Amino acid sequence: MTSEDTPLRAAVLGSGSWGTTFAAVLADAGCQVTVWGRDAATVQEIAREGRNTRYLPGIELPAGVTATLDAREAVAGADVLAVAVPSQRARDVLAPLADAVPAHTVVVSLMKGVELDTDQRMSEVVAQSLRIDASRVAVLSGPNLAREIAQRQPTATVVASTSDATARLVARACASSYFRPYTNPDVVGVELCGAVKNVIALAVGISQGRGMGFNTMATVITRGLVEITRLGLALGADADTFPGLAGMGDLMATCASPDSRNHTLGVHIGRGMSLDEAIVATGGTAEGVKSSRSVLALATSLGVDMPITSAVVQVLHEDLPVEHLAGLLLARPHKAEGV
């Protein structure tokens, strides 16, 4: 670990909206940051002009941000490595870099998902792919819509790691006047909140696309938090995580904001688009589309009931007519609220 007085070097894998935004956060916190991306035009624009007009139009990036097409160059010498690639592609991106990541580097996952086929959380994928100990991995999650943060609107987040030193280093790397990190040892709970809230946001978006109002939205959000909590507790998470920033905080932001891709895609589905049409219209990765299946598979393997998640999977992947969604959500056995 570096001393408190030593400027940190950071790398960000992923030049989309969240990766570029987090690079700006790191730079505003005093880090020298290198962004890696696959798209040559985007990388060149970040490096030469301090902009990413494809994903963050109108935003000027801090001077401390540069970019490269060479992932090994990006991670060389990094104290902090942030991973902001689509969750289902993470293993393919990270595995070739296992021998390039310095031994002192801590890795923070910005990804929100559960891997298909393995049901692994993203921190597990990171540790396994890079062949590093879990104590060197952190996850970051909270009410963190990229565009608002890129505009330097105040927000808070949660940095979770099994190692307090790792969590504190990541928090130090990203703390600024507008970005407030809190540390938390509950990696499982923080990570599951980030993954499942995208699925709930899809359900909210679908219902709003069908013309339903705030009562329905509040119902889906509240019962969605119950689903997230059930799954988290079954995996040993801390109950206190779920009403906090990574739980209810992130869930509210993602379900209510038109800047949320998962909410937006859900609205398109609710208005009658096919999944392929909705993905194109949304214009970016909506992690909940693929994660919905892996989250449901994980829940099923644990015997955890997740009716909202199940309904989203049926609409997106099993050809359930979208007009049947509301009935499926509400046609549940009568029981006490806390059950």
pLDDT of res. 333: 63
Does the annotation list 335 as a binding residue? no
Does the annotation list 142 as a binding residue? yes
Amino acid at residue number 24: A
pLDDT of res. 12: 98
Does the annotation list 146 as a binding residue? yes
**Catalytic annotation, pick one of 9, 168, 197, 263:** 197
> CA-CA distance, 22 to 33, in Å (whole number)?
10
With tokens 């690079």, the residue in question is 23
pLDDT of res. 197: 95
Does the annotation list 227 as a binding residue? no
> How do the residues of the chain divide into helix, strand and coil, expressed in percent and rounded to 5?
55, 10, 35
CA angle 240, 245, 250 (to 5 degrees): 120
Does the annotation list 250 as a binding residue? yes
| End-to-end Cα spacing for the chain | 45
Does the annotation list 84 as a binding residue? no
Does the annotation list 18 as a binding residue? yes
Pull the structure tokens for residue 310. Answer: 């199940």
Amino acid at residue number 292: S
197 is catalytic: yes
Pull the structure tokens for residue 210. Answer: 């069908």
Does the annotation list 197 as a binding residue? yes
CB-facing half-sphere around the CA of 184: CA atoms within 13 A: 27
pLDDT of res. 284: 73
Task: List, for residues 160-180, the tens digit of each pLDDT value.
Answer: 999 999 999 999 999 999 999
**pLDDT less than 50: residues of the chain:** 1
pLDDT of res. 286: 82
pLDDT of res. 22: 98
CB 290 within 8 A of CB 116: yes
- Contact partners, residue 221, CB within 8 Å, separation at least 6: 200, 204, 251, 252, 255
Does the annotation list 89 as a binding residue? no
